[in-house]
Amino acid sequence: MLGLSLTTLISRVITLVIAFTVHEFSHALAADQLGDDTPRLQGRLTLNPLVHLDPIGSLMLVIAGFGWARPVQINPYVIQRRHPAGLMIVAAAGPFSNLLLAIIATIPVRAGLISVTSSSFISQFFIEFIWINLILLFFNLLPIFPLDGEKILDFFLPPRGQDVLRQIRPYGMYILMGLIILGSFGSFDILGLVVMKPAMSLMRLLVL
């Protein structure tokens, strides 16, 4: 947290509350629409951030730019019985919500109401809001368990590819942590390549 300006810190805290809450609510809503009442019974079908935020994951987002919320629990059997692509739809709902939030936040920028070159708090907040939501979009699309991208990829893979994903699934968290650590030292910044670069490209497209 050291080195962050007060403006950046406040912007990130507000952003993570909104982004994580909407992300997890979107998972819960998609599952509910597909006939799974598990999120509703567990109180996750709400926009109350206290229900969705994970303290450590939120702190990591503020400090490192990567983080997580409390995952929404679902019943995959109920969802797949309702729709063959149900699990993929539920998984994709989270990243899609972050993309939607980023696009909505660009509206006042594109309308000329907010300047991206201004040093005002409101301008800095909107830039931070768009940026973090785009990071969450691409980070969650990584095909590594427990991220949403793994479930999305699983739907499109043939059975043999799905078997490979299941075999490496127990090691997903270790793979993620390894990539984050390697990237922090600059020796093998795969996250910078597949998360930061596309996020920056999309941000330029949205706000410039």
What distance in Å separates the CA atoms of residue 52 and residue 5, rounded to the nearest whole number? 26
Q: Is 158 helix (H, G, I), strand (E, B) or coil?
A: coil
In sequence order, which ranges of the chain are alpha helices (DSSP H)? 6-33, 38-41, 49-52, 55-64, 76-82, 86-110, 121-140, 148-156, 159-168, 172-185, 190-191, 197-207
**List 15, 21, 23, 24, catalytic entry:** 24
Q: φ, ψ for residue 53 (rounded to 5)?
A: -75, 140
Q: How far is CA 87 from the centre of its chain?
A: 17
24 is known as an active-site residue: yes
**Cis amide leading into 146 (omega within 30):** yes
Catalytic residue positions? 24
